[in-house]
Structure 1
Amino acid sequence: MNSPRAIIHLSSSSLISFLFYGLAITCLTSTTVSASYDGNETDYHALLSFKSKITHDPFSVLTSWNHSVHFCDWSGISCGKRHKRVTVLWLDSQGLEGSLSPHVGNLSFLRMLSLSNNSFQGTIPHELGRLSRLRFLYVDENKFSGVIPTNLSGCFKLEKLWLAYNKLAGSIPKEMGLLSKLTRLVIDDNKLTGGIPSFLGNITSMELFSAKENPFGGSIPDTLGHWKSLAGFGIGDCNLYGSIPHSIFNLSLLVNLSLSTNHLTGSLPLEIGNQLPNLEFLQLRDNELTGVLPPSLSNCSKLGFLEMSRNNFSGKLTIDFSKLRDIYSIRLSYNNFHGRGEADDMRFIDSLKNCTKLVVLGLYNCNLMGVLSISVGNLSDQLTKLSLGENELFGILPTSIGSLDGLTILDLDSNRFKGKIPGTIGKLQKLQYLSLFSNQFSGPIPDAIGNLSLLNELYLFSNKLEGHIPSSLRNCSKLNYLDLSYNRLSGKIPKQLLQLPSLTNYLDLSRNSLYGSIPSEIKNLKMLSGLDLSYNNLSGPITSNLGECVSLTELYLSGNQFQGIIPFSFSSLGGLGVLDISENNLSGRIPQFLGEWKSLEYLNLSFNDFEGEVPTVGVFANASAFSVLGNDKLCGGLVTLELPNCKETGSKKKRFPVFIVVIVIAPTLLIVLCCVYLLCKKKRNSQPSQSSGSERFMKVSYGQLLKATDGFSEANLIGEGGFSSVYRGILDSDDEKSVAIKVLHLQNRGARKSFVAECEAWRNIRHRNLLKIITSCSSTDFQGNDFKALVYEFMPNGSVHDWLHSSAYTSKLNLLQRIHILRDVATALDYLHNRCQTTIVHGDLKPSNILLDDDMVAHVGDFGLARLLGTDLNQNSSSGVKGTIGYAPPEYGIGSEMTSCGDVYSFGILLLEVMTGKRPTDDMFKEGLSLHKFAYMALPDHVIDVIDDDAIVLQSTEANAKKVEECLAATIKIGVSCSVDSPPQRMKIEIVVNELQRILDVLQNI
């Protein structure tokens, strides 16, 4: 029998075993969970919250974030060795979409948060301010909106902060001045306003500050001169005014300085080169800086990039480039570097021979005067672009130019070069662009130009060139634009030239002394857009082979000696917008097909020997769109032509009695009509009702569009709106041309209605100045959701809005381009309002809806708000969306229905924006001032003060300058007349077209 002590002992031993066994079971059952966070539940749950906010993970980078492994082993995570707490969260360029969880603020040991180049949306959580150990924060290249959180100042150890390429708004919070350890602040390309604050100067540790492409406004604070360690300073395109503070030039460690595209004034300190000896990149282009370009820049021995274009610098260019051995880009165009009373402005070329890394030399339109010396051939063999156009260079072009065998662009136009074009130019085997127009070159075009097999564009017009057009041009197999007009060339048009399939853009041989007929080989130029052979001595009949040039939009044959009739083959040229065959010896009747062309905007048949009746349809219905002057045998036509009535022919011929005709024909006609009726009825019953309107379009599926856009990737996204996103894509087809695919946001109210409206508008309209629709897609995606999209022809030159307001477009629209665009848009509106079977109101005319093709021809697009008057389709209620703020007419705001007068108002505002460069919603338009009033008050004598500077081209003579000013005033007057508040008082769109054409004619003859 066991003693009590033995019993007690056994009980204690059993209890210990039981407890140990229970603990083991507990450990085993919780192994998978503890493996995930090892006791650090805060970090674990914070990371799971981060994952829960991710809506798209295309590379499955977060699949490793699960319970099976410790979070320190998850993708993109690094932990401290001692505490196993998260110190780094790095998920750059993973295609992640979603929002940033505020629980990230619980990762209290975090030292680096890097989410660059993803698609995070929403605001930056203010909880990030809890991360007191954070040193590096990279959230650039996302879609964050809202303001910069004020309590980021809680991250007092922060050294690098990258917020660039988001949609952040508001001003830089004053609390940011407390980040005393900050060395790099990058906030480029947001929507920040409120100026660059002076308190940033308190962050004396700053090494890099980049804030370009923000609409800050204001001036550059002098306090930024406290940044003694600053190496990089970039605030381009920030709408800044005033002068550059002198304190900036005392930052001797500066390596990169970019203040481009602002409104900065004043001059540069003469000692800038001594004050900033470490400069490698200096960019001050597109400002209003004055004075001389300091010679001390020669002392910036490390300088590689120098860009001072489009300022008001003056005085002689005296920089000694021989000291700048690392320079690779010199861009000084659009300044005034002419030395007073001297003609040796080009001596600086001699100092460039030591610049062996030079790639670009740009001195276009700098008022330079002098001779281009033989030393130009000593420039770097790496030079790819030499631009010296629009200066006052004279003398001969040295043969040494042929030594620059790395050139791809050579631009010497609008100077006073004389003598022959050197044959050595044929040694420039890499040349793609050659511009020598508006000089005084004489003699023949050298055969050696045929050696330039990579040449795309050749401009030799407005010289004194003689002899034949060299047949060697046939070797320029990539040539797409050739202009030899306004010379003294003779001989026949070489057949070899017309066998270049690459010649697709323009061929201009006008104003020479060419003779003979048009070679039949012209038929090879099937893709040519423009052909000008006017004012030569060409003769014979117009070859019928011209009818095979089916892509022609402009054809000029005037001022020759052509005979015979207009070939019937011309009926294939239905895409012509301009046809001028005036001043020839053509005869016969005016072909009826000329009146059937929908795209024809201007037709000139004057001073020929045409006879018979003038049609009254198509282009012949608008007296200002065609001319038949000097054809004495014509009759009829519009009353305004004042031509004699056409005589009735055959009135005396014997006719069968009417009753016999009726008896014979009526039964037969009745039988035919019955057959046609039965056939149509059968056809109608056997086909879907929608087919007839859509069979001409190719069919595409959701899968094809998905593939064409690489999964609707953001890289292919080219625009977004309230109802849709637009992607660039390439459909599987023989030509593989780019298309624009507009995907409707069907979850947004009004998107479906917009799709229907656009389909109805596009159903029957076609015009040269309307965006061409290719097809539509109404289907479901792979998840079974409704999917609707429209596919358009891709417009490679973007929108008018881009050219006016985007910093991505370094070149700007000139005056002629702007008037051409406005004429194109007005023509499109005239077609929609007056020449369609059903009047169509666009409803949302604005610069972003005007797209430009390769030739800068304008195309009106986006008919999502369009209305077809006189139908039951797409009727807009008074509460519906009508246009865009600033462009919609005032009557829409009080509930009026959409009308064509509303489009005219929008066009007027668009015209004023194009000419002034100012949006109707610009901040300056307040307290009763509007874009309309701004322009109205400038009429008639102060118009030049409101015109966008980039649109004005000063003319060489006072008379021409006066003509330009008159044209500008006439254009602004059109915009003002179209945008008056009262709809009945607005200018008729057909009158607008005529007035703009008249203005164009004047400008083109200056």
Structure 2
Amino acid sequence: MCDRQRKNVPHLGTLRSARLLIFVVLSSLSSFAVFPAATAAASFSSSNTDFQTLLCLKLHLSNATNLLGSWKQNDSLSFCRWPGVTCSKTNTTRVVALDLESYGLSGQIPPCIVNLTLLTRIHLPDNQLSGQIPPELGQLSNIPSSLGNFSSLRSLLLAANHLQGSIPVSISKIPNLQVLDISYNNFRGTVEPSLYNISSLMYLSIGVNYFTGALPFDIGYTLPSIQTLILQQNNFGGKIPPSLANATDLESINLGANAFHGIIPSFGPLYKLNELILATNQLEAGDWSFLSSLENCTQLEVLSLATNVMQGNLPGSVGSLANTLNALWLHANKISGTIPPEIGNLTNLMRLRLEQNYFAGNLPGTIGNLANLTSLSLSQNNLSGQIPLSIGKLGQLNKLFLQDNNFSGAIPRSLGDCKKLITLNLSCNTLNGSIPKELFSLNSLTEGFDLSHNQLSGQIPQDIGGLINIGLLNFSNNHLSGQIPVSLGACVRLESLHLEGNFLDGRIPESFINLGGVAEIDLSRNNLSGQIPNFFQSFNSLKLLNLSFNSLEGQMPEGGIFQNSSEVLVQGNSMLCSRSPKFQLPLCVASSRHQRSSSRNLMITVISVALALVFVACVVFILLKKRKRYKRSDHPSFNEMKNFSYADLVKATNSFSSDNLVGSGAYGSVYKGVLESEAREIVAIKVFKLDELGAPKSFVAECEAFRNTRHRNLLRVISACSTWDNKGNDFKALIIEYMANGTLESWIYSEMRRPLSLGSRVTIAVDIAAALDYLHNRCVPPIVHCDLKPSNVLLDDIMGARVSDFGLAKFLQIHDSSSITSSKYGTGSKISKEGDVYSYGIIILEMLTGKRPTDELFNNGLSLQKFVGNAFPEKICEILDPKIIPNFGSEGVDTNLDHEKHVTMGILNCIMQLVKLGLACSMQTPKDRPTILDVYAEVSTIKRTISALICVEE
């Protein structure tokens, strides 16, 4: 976006009346101090003044590389030849440029620099300078014309530094200023009103700072020449002034990532408008008349209205927008109704994002008219019906996201005509039939191919070997059968393979030996047989190997990844054995070859007889169970689930043995259990303490919540048990998924766990936000969790987060008057979605700092939220959990390399954004907190950025 923001900067060559351009680049400022007082040398001649000023600079700046060592006090006749100094060609003793890039400079720039009155260039990037820009730079217009006509200054560019404080008032007094860019700094407070009165301004960029306040109602009149207005990523509030439409030269408006609210005004008179970005605010659509007004903006190319609170139906007038439009972003709003077929009129559209809304009905076939489309995202809506065949006409399409909808029917074969696809995600729908062979000819697929959580059946074709460039392949949780194709071994660039939750049988192909770069393989919950291949031991990149709940046999390999039991999952394979007890498998017994052969023959005989007796029953049972387990639509009622008796649960938990106890809360205890009747499936059994006040109500609340919910980031309930124990007392329990990696709390605070990486923490944050978004915005009526905390967030075998414990959950009613006073919700208030957002914010801060809200550090009015807020932003690195990024900022990291610096700054920026999000969510006043829809969008963006910088998976 930076390139687009700067494209309207007037070319410096066109500012012919400008006699001076001051270009200050201080890209490595790191601390913030006050400059010393200026020292002037008024009694010296002009050339002697320049010489003395250079010595003044040397005095105030430390020089690690000693390149300023040649700036000597007794060398007044040769200072124009000093390193970094350039003198005028016409006035050979006057300094016109300082070029001190990467000189290892530190310290503060003294105000005496303004005595270099013929200076046209100041270039100081890649140093360690600190402090503020000397305010005297804004007063250059007061220097007498005999020393240089500074009053003709046209451009002041101070972007991408660490400057702080407020905007100097003197800047607004520079006459004839046309370009002002102070974006990407740490300026705070309200903007000086006089800044909006510089009538000559053509380009104003003050984005990515911490400015507050509202825009002047008459801004369109006081900035009549403005062409580019960039205010994004600040804390501006209030309504967008309708007067902006009077600045008819406007070409680019970027007000994104602020707190503007109210109905979007008309921009019809802005016939030159090229870019309108209003995303990530709290704006409303009203009657959508603003959209019709944009029909007059015949040069519009980018329209971004994402992550607001726009409601109602998207009108057909969207198809009347300019034919020049190439990007339309309406995602993360509350737009409902059908997608209008008129959208097919935008034939030059390249990027269309409508995800995270409430669109319903069929996807119109006119979508095929968008022949220039490169990215289409419609995920997380309520779209239904078949995917239209016309989608195959999108020959330029790179990315297609249709996941989390209700699409049904077969996958259209025409998708195979989209020969440029690099990402295809159709997961979490109800698609059925076989996987079209045509999709396996898409050797352009590199980033991901996800068909998981559908009802696809049949075999995986051998043609899958055509996906030679695929990085992520996920066909999990379908009804696929047959053997894993040998040709899959041809996908040598594969990094992630998920085939779990199907009916696949046979052996793991030997061709997998070619997948040496894979990071995770999940083949669990199938019917695979044979031995675990030894070549997995040599896979140095492999971080997860899940082979659990199959029919694998023989001895476990011992080298490589098999030395770490947390990275290899093999439970539910009754014929496996190991030489190590850490896998909780039977120990392999050393014997002669004859004994091994006899034992094997005996085992085969026994198994054959057993299979002959129970084969039919098992197949029928498994088919029925698996078809129900992953069906995304209607959650089955508890009456339709498997019934378990008290005796079943006693047996599963060894009589509720303390050895099986994995957790305990106010209303219940959780035990690990093995259900004999369910092919020894490992489960968690939550037994309610019915003698505790509120426990029976908690059981009912959890049952009601689980009966009405179904989401990949919510803990899945297998069944409920309400009966009597062997003494005749009431007994109530829930049988739920067993989460192999326990609670988030144990990962944040336990020294027994390996440290959670930053990528894992961000992924967990995204998963929790997805669950809350589902509860708040996708359930009818909405559900409030009311007890969100790290101990109620469980982690599955691949460190995915599942929200659990709905004992205090409440269905929101329109006139609900229930109230709470718990401090965990901020100030005492009614039960509401904002309470869950507060709890989410506290979890973010816990994950970042490694400190509990109840830490003994927090007393005398100091809370976790205030603790983090006091450190933000300057001292945030001092309070981060040191385990969040190993060696981050240590001396051992070579931060002198451009790549390392880019990655380091990128990671730090993501952390700052995450801290900012945590603080916003945990504001004490509920109305000041963002909605979970906004939160989900923001944290997802952070995850995408992090994923591009570091390996998210541990």
- Which SS does the other structure have where 2:789 is aligned? helix
Following superposition, the deviation at residue 237 of structure 1 comes to 0.6
Which residue, out of 132, 149, 162, partners 1:99?
132
> Which residue does the alignment assign to 1:275?
321
Following superposition, the deviation at residue 482 of structure 1 comes to 2.5
Q: Note closer, same or farther for the CA distance 1:290–1:495 as it changes in structure 2 (3 Å cut).
A: same
Identify which range, 297-306 or 64-73, moves more after superposition. 64-73
- Which SS does the other structure have where 1:884 is aligned? helix
Following superposition, the deviation at residue 509 of structure 1 comes to 2.7
> Which residue does the alignment assign to 2:229?
185
Gapped regions of structure 1 (runs ≥ 5): 1-25, 38-43, 78-82, 550-554, 566-603, 632-639, 642-765, 775-790, 829-841, 853-857, 869-873, 889-912, 932-945, 953-1006
> Which residue does the alignment assign to 1:544?
579
Deviations 1:498-537 (A, max 9, x none): 5544332351431x3x15344244774234535443444x
> Which residue does the alignment assign to 2:909?
none
- Which SS does the other structure have where 2:518 is aligned? coil
Write the distance in 1 (CA, Å) between the matches of 2:527 and 2:270: 63
- Which SS does the other structure have where 2:342 is aligned? helix
Which amino acid counterpart does residue 421 of structure 1 have in structure 2?
I
The answer to whether 1:128 aligns with 2:210 is no
- Which structure has the larger Rg over C-alpha atoms? 1
The answer to whether 1:483 aligns with 2:522 is yes
Which residue, out of 497, 500, 506, partners 1:461?
500
Write the distance in 1 (CA, Å) between the matches of 2:768 and 2:165: 26
Which amino acid counterpart does residue 343 of structure 2 have in structure 1?
L
> Which residue does the alignment assign to 1:145?
188
> Which residue does the alignment assign to 1:418?
457
Write the distance in 2 (CA, Å) between the matches of 1:481 and 1:365: 23
Following superposition, the deviation at residue 410 of structure 1 comes to 0.4
Deviations 1:841-885 (A, max 9, x none): x9x997667569xxxxx85844499867xxxxx8x88x5745435
> Which residue does the alignment assign to 2:97?
73
Does the CA-based 8 Å contact 1:772-1:793 persist in structure 2? no
> Which residue does the alignment assign to 1:162?
205
> Which residue does the alignment assign to 1:884?
865
Following superposition, the deviation at residue 162 of structure 1 comes to 0.7
Identify which range, 191-200 or 400-409, moves more after superposition. 191-200
- Which SS does the other structure have where 1:333 is aligned? coil
TM-score by length of 1: 0.54
After TM superposition, the structure 1 = structure 2 runs for residues 88-487 of structure 1, keeping only pairs within 5 Å, are: 97-108=130-141, 109=151, 110-174=153-217, 176-177=219-220, 178-222=222-266, 224-243=267-286, 244=288, 245=290, 246-320=292-366, 323-339=369-385, 343=386, 345-352=387-394, 355=395, 357-380=396-419, 382-408=420-446, 409-487=448-526
Q: Note closer, same or farther for the CA distance 1:36–1:294 as it changes in structure 2 (3 Å cut).
A: farther
> Which residue does the alignment assign to 2:759?
796
Gapped regions of structure 2 (runs ≥ 5): 1-40, 72-82, 101-108, 110-115, 142-150, 590-647, 677-686, 689-743, 796-823, 827-837, 870-915, 938-954
Q: Note closer, same or farther for the CA distance 1:887–1:158 as it changes in structure 2 (3 Å cut).
A: closer
Write the distance in 2 (CA, Å) between the matches of 1:217 and 1:429: 48
> Which residue does the alignment assign to 1:919?
922
Following superposition, the deviation at residue 412 of structure 1 comes to 1.0
- Which SS does the other structure have where 2:524 is aligned? coil
Following superposition, the deviation at residue 262 of structure 1 comes to 1.0
Which amino acid counterpart does residue 391 of structure 1 have in structure 2?
N
After TM superposition, the structure 1 = structure 2 runs for residues 768-807 of structure 1, keeping only pairs within 5 Å, are: 768-771=746-749, 794-798=757-761, 803=766
Deviations 1:157-215 (A, max 9, x none): 10000111111111223463301000000111111112322222221211100011112
Write the distance in 2 (CA, Å) between the matches of 1:914 and 1:73: 42
Write the distance in 2 (CA, Å) between the matches of 1:394 and 1:187: 48
Deviations 1:906-948 (A, max 9, x none): xxxxxxx9999953524527xxxx99xxxxxxxxxxxxxx987
- Which SS does the other structure have where 1:525 is aligned? helix
Aligned length: 634
Which amino acid counterpart does residue 263 of structure 1 have in structure 2?
V
- Which SS does the other structure have where 1:309 is aligned? coil
Does the CA-based 8 Å contact 1:824-1:859 persist in structure 2? no
Write the distance in 2 (CA, Å) between the matches of 1:438 and 1:122: 54
Write the distance in 2 (CA, Å) between the matches of 1:349 and 1:883: 50
Following superposition, the deviation at residue 358 of structure 1 comes to 2.2
Deviations 1:76-132 (A, max 9, x none): 99xxxxx98778878788775422333333233210000111111110012212112
Deviations 1:286-335 (A, max 9, x none): 11122333333333333221111112223332354555443221112123
Q: Note closer, same or farther for the CA distance 1:951–1:350 as it changes in structure 2 (3 Å cut).
A: closer
- Which SS does the other structure have where 1:201 is aligned? helix
Write the distance in 2 (CA, Å) between the matches of 1:136 and 1:262: 30
Which amino acid counterpart does residue 103 of structure 1 have in structure 2?
E
Q: Note closer, same or farther for the CA distance 1:271–1:92 as it changes in structure 2 (3 Å cut).
A: farther
Following superposition, the deviation at residue 406 of structure 1 comes to 1.6
Q: Note closer, same or farther for the CA distance 1:95–1:182 as it changes in structure 2 (3 Å cut).
A: farther
TM-score by length of 2: 0.56
Which amino acid counterpart does residue 207 of structure 1 have in structure 2?
E
> Which residue does the alignment assign to 2:566?
529
Which amino acid counterpart does residue 220 of structure 1 have in structure 2?
I
Which has the higher relative contact order, 1 or 2, with Cα contacts under 8 A spaced 6 or more apart? 2
Write the distance in 1 (CA, Å) between the matches of 2:671 and 2:579: 23
Deviations 1:783-840 (A, max 9, x none): xxxxxxxx98743244699649999x99999999x99983547999xxxxxxxxxxxx
Which amino acid counterpart does residue 399 of structure 2 have in structure 1?
V
Q: Note closer, same or farther for the CA distance 1:311–1:624 as it changes in structure 2 (3 Å cut).
A: closer
Q: Note closer, same or farther for the CA distance 1:96–1:225 as it changes in structure 2 (3 Å cut).
A: farther
Write the distance in 1 (CA, Å) between the matches of 2:675 and 2:313: 61
Q: Note closer, same or farther for the CA distance 1:100–1:508 as it changes in structure 2 (3 Å cut).
A: same
Identify which range, 387-396 or 293-302, moves more after superposition. 293-302
Following superposition, the deviation at residue 444 of structure 1 comes to 1.1
Following superposition, the deviation at residue 248 of structure 1 comes to 2.8
The percent identity for this pair of structures is 24
Q: Note closer, same or farther for the CA distance 1:249–1:97 as it changes in structure 2 (3 Å cut).
A: farther
